[in-house]
């Protein structure tokens, strides 16, 4: 029975995630879907993480070691060596519920136009405390450019990955999943979202995507330039998107300026400046 099922390659890039990598790997190994391989890429991790990966090595299919080159290079390298018809990406600090693959594979097998299957996600903090539930709805290419409405860790056809040329290695500062989703949907592939919480995403204070927010302007500029055909074709939507962004920032700024903490801080700054000017004036008079 197992050999009649398509092989799935589960790809786990890992960089300095000693605290969480075991949970991630076991969530892959314990998937109820039987015909799978698990490939972990050590992307130049520290000694503590390497020790855990060495312990896990006998239980996984393959452990690839490389110098730190980033998640896109790590994923691409693992997928190149993967034998599966379908690819499941999984970050080393996140984990899937055990039945995700069984449910996701069925969709890809029965709906040939679907290139990617994702699901709802439980967002956790670093201690594993539930923060909120993320419910993506999926999107086509003309929507994905403006709103990344898919979970980054998802099951997709290796064929789709080949079509788009893999993950864009220029996306070094985060949000590579967003660009990949745009590229896949541009090729005409559909995205299906399972309306169940089958994925657990850990929101860490020092994650690549949180750091990526400081590069948000550069990341957006790169992605919009790469997919300018979508932006131009949907000119009004593009215009509305950036005008809405301006309005959002205006409201946030106004809310901050109207807050008591801002007013108190502003009052203290003015008071201190007055005191300094008084002392300075008195020194001049002397």
Residue 210 to residue 207: CA distance in whole angstroms? 5
Whether 33 and 105 have beta carbons less than 8 Å apart is answered as yes
Q: Which residue has the higher pLDDT, 235 or 257?
A: 235
Residue with tokens 């690839």: 64
pLDDT at 256 exceeding the cut of 60: no
**160-171, pLDDT tens digit by residue?**
999 999 999 999
**Number of other residues whose CB lies within 10 A of the CB of residue 115:** 25
**87-108, pLDDT tens digit by residue?**
999 999 999 999 999 999 999 9
- Give the pLDDT mean for 272-284: 55
Q: Which tokens hold the place of 266?
A: 């502003």
Q: Is 2-205 in CATH node 3.90.550.10? A: yes
pLDDT at 3 exceeding the cut of 70: no
pLDDT at 224 exceeding the cut of 60: yes
Closest CA to 121 of 91, 94, 92: 94
Percent of the chain exceeding pLDDT 70 equals: 83
pLDDT confidence of 247, banded at 50, 70, 90? confident
Q: Which residue has the higher pLDDT, 248 or 267?
A: 248
What is the chain's length?
Answer: 286
Angle at 74 between CA 71 and CA 79, to 5 degrees: 120
Residue 81 to residue 71: CA distance in whole angstroms? 16
**9-60, pLDDT tens digit by residue?**
999 999 999 999 999 999 999 999 999 999 999 999 999 999 999 999 999 9
Q: Which residue has the higher pLDDT, 244 or 66?
A: 66
Could you write out the three-class secondary structure of the chain? CHHHCCCEEEEEEECCCCCCHHHHHHHHHCCCCCCEEEEEEEECCCHHHHHHHHHHHHHCCEEEEECCCCHHHHHHHHHHHCCCCEEEECCCCCEECCCHHHHHHHHHHHCCCEEEEEEEEEEECCCCCEEEEECCCCCCHHHHCCCCCCCCCCEEEHHHHHHHCCCCCCCCCCCHHHHHHHHHHHCCCEEEEEEEEEEEEECCCCCHHHHHHHHHHHHHHHHHHHCHHHHHHCHHHHHHHHHHHHHHHHHHHHHHHHCHHHHHHHHHHHHHHHHHHHHHHHHHHC
Residue 259 to residue 273: CA distance in whole angstroms? 21
Residue 40: per-residue pLDDT: 98
Please report the sign of the dihedral spanned by the C-alpha atoms of residue 25, residue 134, residue 211, residue 183: positive
pLDDT at 209 exceeding the cut of 50: no
Domain extent listing, the chain? 2-205, 239-285
**106-161, pLDDT tens digit by residue?**
999 999 999 999 999 999 999 889 999 999 988 788 888 998 888 889 999 999 99
User: What pTM does this model have?
Assistant: 0.84
pLDDT at 274 exceeding the cut of 90: no
Closest CA to 86 of 62, 115, 64, 111: 115
Residue 111 to residue 178: CA distance in whole angstroms? 23
Closest CA to 20 of 57, 48, 44: 48
Residue 1: per-residue pLDDT: 44
């Amino acid at each position: 029975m197992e050999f009649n099922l398509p092989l799935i390659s589960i790809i786990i890039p890992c960089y300095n995630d000693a605290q969480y990598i075991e949970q991630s790997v076991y969530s892959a190994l314990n998937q109820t879907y039987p015909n799978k391989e698990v490939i972990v890429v050590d992307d130049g991790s520290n000694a503590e993480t390497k020790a855990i990966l060495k312990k896990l090595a006998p239980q996984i299919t393959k452990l690839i070691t490389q110098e730190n080159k980033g998640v896109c290079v790590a994923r691409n390298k693992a997928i190149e060596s993967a034998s599966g018809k379908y690819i499941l990406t999984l970050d080393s600090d996140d984990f899937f519920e055990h039945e995700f693959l069984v449910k996701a594979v069925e969709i890809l097998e029965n709906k040939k136009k679907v290139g990617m299957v994702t699901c709802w996600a439980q967002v956790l903090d670093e201690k594993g405390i539930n923060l909120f539930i993320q419910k993506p709805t999926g999107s086509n290419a003309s929507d994905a450019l403006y709103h990344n409405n898919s979970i980054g860790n998802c099951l997709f056809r290796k064929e789709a990955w080949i079509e788009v040329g893999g993950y864009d290695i220029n996306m070094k500062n985060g949000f590579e999943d967003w660009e990949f989703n745009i590229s896949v949907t541009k090729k005409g592939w559909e995205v299906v979202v399972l309306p169940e919480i089958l994925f657990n995403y850990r929101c860490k204070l020092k994650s690549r995507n949180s750091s990526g927010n400081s590069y948000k302007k550069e990341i957006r500029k790169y992605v919009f330039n790469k997919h300018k055909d979508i932006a131009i074709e949907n000119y009004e939507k593009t215009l509305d998107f950036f005008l809405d962004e301006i309005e959002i920032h205006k409201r946030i700024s106004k809310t901050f300026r109207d807050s008591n903490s801002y007013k108190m801080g502003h009052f203290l700054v003015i008071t201190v400046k007055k005191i300094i000017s008084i002392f300075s004036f008195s020194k001049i008079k002397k």
